[in-house]
Amino acid sequence: MTRRSFEGATVLVTGAGGGLGRALALRFAAAGANVVALDKDAAGIDSLAAELGRLGTACLPLPCDVTDAGACSVAVAQAIERFGSLDVLVNNAGMSHRSGFAATGLDVIRRVMDVNFFGAVNCTKAALPHLVARRGLVVVISSVAGFTPLVARTGYAASKHAVHGFFDSLRTELAPRGVDVMVACPSFIA
């Protein structure tokens, strides 16, 4: 993967309403990118858009549940309508869970997989034709749990292991088409 300039690029960040997603959106904006901010938290992305507006950065805040593939497709279409292209997708939206497997309901594990894994897959599927057209970049935020076991984190670790398998494989599929795929694995963050 080569170093990229984000000046004038359009970057879509999921989970942009707070935490790491907000920090990533601010950083891409500082690098000169237009930002498309997706999150279920409408107030969070509206606040981000207001802050970016004060800094002179164009931001399109779009409430979106990444577990809904149709909603992801609509959001990407709105981003293309507003900015004309999509250069970077940052799959950051996620959730954690902490409990031993014996004490965890299967519905909890399904929800963690739906958000952490399928949310990233849904957004990537919707954005892919546009990223191929721009020889863009897909970033997915995983975790150290994606490659090492964590006690009382079975569902979370499973979702992040799935992210690794999927996006590492997708990298090999997309490389000949000029699209880079990066898996970032932060440890515990505030």
Q: Name the residues annotated as catalytic.
A: 156
d(CA 48, CA 67) in angstroms, rounded, equals 22
CB 8 within 8 A of CB 32: yes
Residue 3 token pair: 């170093």
Cα 19–24–27 angle (5° rounding)? 130
CB 100 within 8 A of CB 94: no
Exposed, middle or buried: residue 65 (CB in 10 Å: 0-12, 13-18, 19+)?
middle
d(CA 128, CA 123) in angstroms, rounded, equals 8
d(CA 42, CA 111) in angstroms, rounded, equals 21
Q: Which residues contact 33 (CB under 8 A, 6 or more apart)?
A: 6, 7, 8, 9, 10, 11, 57, 87, 88
